[in-house]
Amino acid sequence: MSVGWRTPVCDWLGIAHPIFGFSHSVDVVVAIARAGGYPVLGLAREMPHEIPQILRAVDARMQGLPYGVDLMLPSQVPQAGDIGEVRAALPAAHQAFVAGLRERFAVAPPVKPSFFTSQVRSEALFDAQIEQVLASKATGVATAIGLRGDLIARAKARGKLTFSLIGSVRHAQKAMAMGVDVLVAQGYDAGGHTGMVGTYSLVPQIVAVAGDTPVLAAGGIGNGAQILAAIAMGAQGGWLGTLWMAAVENHTPPALLARLVASGSEDTVITRAHSGKPCRVVRSEWIDAWAEPSALPALPMPLQQALTGDVFASIHEHNDARLIYEAAGQSVFAIRGSTTVAEQMRDLVAGMQEAGQRLHGFARSKD
Ligand SMILES: Cc1cc2nc3c(=O)[nH]c(=O)nc-3n(C[C@H](O)[C@H](O)[C@H](O)COP(=O)(O)O)c2cc1C
């Protein structure tokens, strides 16, 4: 009788279960590590000067358990960006459109300073983030949206494992040519910035070209049977993001958790309204307003966040039940209420076990 599913990547990374958890929450990340998964802390939304302190706190709590950190590094951003100057130069029609929406929905100004109210994604910001990530004790570095060969080489030179989130065969090949250690095949179903191919179609295609490079499946995964299905397709584990928002450790605003609980897969949509790039989010009146016939098209990244970042910050800060939204995948179907990471990990592991037994039950010896 097996006591769990392990893939080679588990031994390579020193983890008990082939479960990879992406989260922006330090508490979630620590809890995933303690439960035997491999957590990856998203740093793309942190104030740059706070990252060293965040990483010190993670290290203190991790007590040597392996974990990764993640950056989002799109190309085609300005060299440097002062939020005030960028905002002042935004198209007048867009400024007027958003002012109209703010008035229509009575959006209160945000009070706390945050990434979304004070930062513009730029090469200067990325350089600062990259230096902090390289100096960290994280055992892995993941990147999404953009592929940067120099970062991959430098991370590997420091003994860090590199992960790349990719959504197509072409990007997988590019990542492998740069020496990426682990491919995260992230399908259309995923929460956050996503490509056009569904996870179930993407994973086998990436496995087919990956050779010895391990592949993880991401997008739409909400239970253990799906992780085992991904392993059956040749992946070495599942990479989950949305699910953890149901955990108390995520400190999800109550209105957002209520929305996630009430939402099904069809309530997530791909929109450019959040960042300027296609991003799957759970719908709200704010997101719907950008899909109205009279709406203006979103501005390209990073301008859309300069335009609307303070609204995103405000609706989270004020727990705005009408407008609150967040990146969320079709996996939202698996969020049924508040829980803990430990319970989620137990359920995922048990789900893999049950699915395995189901499969064995169907296997036939020659009769
Ligand atoms: C709230 C949220 C924020 C995310 N932010 C990032 C990010 O900053 N960087 C990144 O590489 N992936 C990000 N992702 C995508 C995850 O890494 C992961 O690929 C995705 O959540 C998998 O699909 P699922 O949401 O259906 O589990 C985010 C996902 C969510 C739900």
pTM: 0.97
Residue 4: the pLDDT is 84
pLDDT at 256 over 80: yes
User: How close is the Cα of 59 to the center of ligand 1, in Å?
Assistant: 22
Average predicted confidence (pLDDT) for the chain: 96
User: How close is the Cα of 239 to the center of ligand 1, in Å?
Assistant: 9
Q: How confident is the model at residue 145 (pLDDT cuts 50, 70, 90)?
A: very high
pLDDT at 268 over 70: yes
Asked whether 72 lines ligand 1 (CB < 6 A), one says yes
pLDDT in tens, 157-175: 999 999 999 999 999 999 9
Nearest CA to ligand 1 atom 2: 327
pLDDT at 1 over 50: no
pLDDT at 345 over 60: yes
Asked whether 241 lines ligand 1 (CB < 6 A), one says yes
Nearest CA to ligand 1 atom 4: 192
User: How close is the Cα of 280 to the center of ligand 1, in Å?
Assistant: 9
Nearest CA to ligand 1 atom 20: 241
Upper half-sphere CA count for residue 331 (Cβ side, 13 Å): 32
Q: Where are the domains of the chain?
A: 8-356
Residue 146: the pLDDT is 87
User: How close is the Cα of 365 to the center of ligand 1, in Å?
Assistant: 41
Domain spanning 8-356: CATH 3.30.70.260:
no
Residue 3: the pLDDT is 64
Phi and psi dihedrals of 119, rounded to 5? Answer: -120, 150
Residue 366: the pLDDT is 66
pLDDT in tens, 173-213: 999 999 999 999 999 999 999 999 999 999 999 999 999 99
Asked whether 242 lines ligand 1 (CB < 6 A), one says yes
Does the N-terminal peptide bond of residue 48 adopt cis geometry, omega within 30 degrees of 0?
no
**Lowest pLDDT segment from 2-11, 209-218, 313-322, 351-360:** 2-11
